[in-house]
Structure 1
Amino acid sequence: MNVLRYPVATEKAVNLISKNNVITYIVNLRATKQEIKKEFESLFKVKVSKVRTINSPTNMRKAFITIAKGYNASDVAMKLKLV
């Protein structure tokens, strides 16, 4: 199962990167928080402190992935070409 689909590049999502060290991703509807955390950590070689998810009315699941202290979400955003 492909857990992470694509990053969100809206203005609000980009502000979360700089202010709260949070990356926003669209994920598989059946993905659990533990699966999201595990795949994100293995892809980007960072530690994740928290994952929050919401199901949108358009049948998509959005994950707010908080990067642990000592790691920078801006570095991940640069790899994803969001910033």
Structure 2
Amino acid sequence: MARSHYDILRRPVITEKSTQLREDANTVVFEVDPKATKPEIKGAVEKIFSVKVKDVRTVIVRGKQARVGRFVGRRKNWKKAYVTLHEGEHIELFEGV
């Protein structure tokens, strides 16, 4: 079964580091499907946001150990994609920002 573009991109990652990257290097950070490939991520971003993507870098973020009372477990691993856009392109994640 084919995944839609909205299944590949899960959510934007909004942190101090990702905000600084967006301002300085024209790079947007997304949480993506762990099985998504770089070409799939590039196609999804270009289709959803109507921009030209220059580069895609991915990172597997390892889940941390989590504790609830006396029970110890682990959070799930997840995949993060750094998407660099061409000059002049931008994605507005929030209106008016």
Structure 1 match to 2:84:
66
Which structure features the higher share of strand residues? 2
Question: Which structure is higher in helix share?
Answer: 1
Give the TM-score, by structure 2 length. Answer: 0.76
**Runs of 5+ in structure 1 lacking a partner?**
none
List structure 1 segments (4+ residues) > 4 angstroms apart after TM superposition: none
Alignment partner of 1:31: what SS? coil
Distance 2:37 2:83 in 1: 13
> Which of 11, 15, 29 is the equivalent residue of 1:24?
29
Whether 1:36 aligns to 2:49 is no
Q: Distance in 2 between matches of 1:69 and 1:36?
A: 19
1:81 matched residue in structure 2: 94
Identity of matched residues, %: 40
Q: Which has the larger radius of gyration?
A: 2
Please list every run of 5 or more consecutive structure 2 residues that lacks an aligned counterpart in the other structure: 64-76
In 1, distance between residues paired with 2:23 and 2:43?
A: 23
2: distance between equivalents of 1:13 and 1:46? 18
Distance between the aligned counterparts of 1:56 and 1:40, measured in 2? Answer: 20
